[in-house]
Amino acid sequence: MTQIITVTNQKGGVGKTTTASALICGLHQRGARVLGVDLDPQGNLGFALGLDIGETDTIYDVLKGTRSIEEAIVPTEYGDILSSDIMLSVAEVEFTAPRREFMLDQQLERVRDRYDFIVIDTPPALNILTINAYVASTALIVPMEAEILSLVGITQLQETIESVRTSFNPQLKVLGILLNKFNPRLTLSQEVLELAEAVAEQMDSCVLTPKIRRGVAVAKAPAHGQSVLTYMPSSKPAQDLQQVVALVAGPDFPLPEKG
């Protein structure tokens, strides 16, 4: 059964692409068949995993119908990648056909059986691209920084998730909130953790363990076209993210089936 996991938060700079690239790389390292899908017009996921996004077909081409999804998927040493670029920014106004919320789901249906996991990176917005990701997904991971402002907007995120469950995808599950740049010695981090746990409970979810500690490797890895897991595997963030990968891949972290 293919699991489709979307990494999402409407706030930017909270570690979505770092988390998505680590999941793709880490699951691939464990022998899983993995596809990474970039739904962010900034194209950071493909760039972070070494693709020249100016030279590849993209998810925009697939949704537009000018390329098949099979043609646009690029194999890499970290797994298969379906990249994005700035052209995807017109999605909100260009993709207006009926049932446009199902565009991605319909495309992934063509290749779903080829993969154990599909990991989707989303833009910092609650727009039609994000809705498409939620409709196609079995589960969500919500990264946030260990600071108060990162909690702002999660209420709206929760409302969007509930709307998608009601209208399109009743099996959608929130696997958990993932705290990034966490320092257990700071009072602020502990306060944010308590608030995040309360928010997670409202979402019928949890705060994932472990929390991701700070480290310069996270900032450096994309410039080398690598996940932090391969760029600096001994770093604290890489060790923490490997534990998250193990949770997702392991039998003690059951995922719902896509209806």
pLDDT beneath 50, residues of the chain: 259
CA–CA separation, 238 and 132 (whole Å) = 29
Show contacts of 236-243: CB within 8 Å, 24+ apart: 237/18, 237/212, 237/213, 238/22, 240/210, 240/211, 240/212, 240/213, 241/18, 241/19, 241/22, 241/26, 241/212, 242/22, 242/26, 243/209, 243/210
Instruction: Quote the pLDDT of residue 252.
Output: 56
**pLDDT attached to residue 233:** 95
Domain spans of the chain, in order of start: 3-249
Specify the pLDDT at position 185. Answer: 86
Name the pTM for this structure: 0.94
pLDDT at 13: 86
pLDDT at 258: 55
216-245 pLDDT tens trace: 999 899 989 899 999 999 999 999 999 999
Check if the beta carbon of residue 28 is closer than 8 Å to that of residue 58. no
CATH code for 3-249?
A: 3.40.50.300
Q: Assess contact for 22 and 218: CB atoms under 8 A.
A: no
- Say how far apart CA 215 and CA 90 lie, in whole Å: 35
